[in-house]
Amino acid sequence: MKPLVFTLCLLPLAWLGWAGMNDGLGANPIEFLIRTLGDWALRMLLVALAVTPMRQLTGWGWIGRLRRMLGLFAFAYALLHVAAWIGVDQFLDWGTIGREIAKRRYILVGMSAFVILIALASTSTNGMIRRLGGRRWRLLHKSVYAAGILASLHYLMMVKVDIRPPLGHIVILALLLGWRVIKALPAPTPSGRR
């Protein structure tokens, strides 16, 4: 499964590369590039968050082994999204970048999500799990929920007209996080009380 999922996760990037080389990025190619990379970063994050509920619903233990790869793909797409904004949109002009961050709150929210993703990606190796210890590592990796919330909020805040697409992502995120909350509740006793 891993090579297949790896290839599938690369398809949006391959398509972007192909479209870029064939003049297929539309009238505003920079905006299209940044938005498409952002979309895929968020989608990958949601798919990574869907792994645990899927495993619990289906009993397919092997799905769990895809989670790290999906999370790293979310990080990779977010990294490309941010790099495209800094390099292609802002031309590495750090003064303008600073002013944009100060002016647009949605960028600050996106940055917060990105900082969390950096922390998660850099501690995703087996060596880091050992070094941090399972309990601390799991606690740190719970911040993926905050990354999901911040990234969805970043999307919602930047949209000016049609808020349905970001709301759709927020509903999916709410279902994925709600599932975890329900699972964490104590099991009801035979009398029906929790």
Taking residue 80's Cβ as centre, other Cβ atoms within 10 Å add up to 20
Does 167 help bind ligand HEM (rule: CB under 6 A)?
Answer: no
Integer Cα distance of 1 and 60 in angstroms:
12
**Quick one: which of 9, 45, 172, 176 contacts ligand HEM (CB under 6 A)?**
45
**Quick one: which of 107, 120, 153, 176 contacts ligand HEM (CB under 6 A)?**
107
Does 81 help bind ligand HEM (rule: CB under 6 A)?
Answer: yes
Does 154 help bind ligand HEM (rule: CB under 6 A)?
Answer: yes
Residue 132 or 170 having the CB closest to ligand HEM: 170
Q: Nearest approach, Cβ of 126 to ligand HEM (angstroms)?
A: 24
**Quick one: which of 16, 71, 80, 155 contacts ligand HEM (CB under 6 A)?**
155
Question: What single string gives the DSSP state of each residue in the chain?
Answer: -HHHHHHHHHHHHHHHHHHHHTT-S-SSHHHHHHHHHHHHHHHHHHHHHHHHHHHHHH--GGGGGGHHHHHHHHHHHHHHHHHHIIIIISTT-HHHHHHHHHH-HHHHHHHHHHHHHHHHHHT-SHHHHHHH-HHHHHHHHTTHHHHHHHHHHHHHHH-SS--HHHHHHHHHHHHHHHHHHHHHSPPPPTTS--
Q: Nearest approach, Cβ of 131 to ligand HEM (angstroms)?
A: 25
Amino acid at 156: L
**Quick one: which of 16, 42, 46, 66 contacts ligand HEM (CB under 6 A)?**
42
Does 79 help bind ligand HEM (rule: CB under 6 A)?
Answer: no
Does 48 help bind ligand HEM (rule: CB under 6 A)?
Answer: no
Does 110 help bind ligand HEM (rule: CB under 6 A)?
Answer: yes
The footprint of ligand HEM (CB under 6 A) covers: 31, 34-35, 38-39, 41-42, 45, 78, 81-82, 85, 107, 110-111, 113-114, 117, 151, 154-155, 158
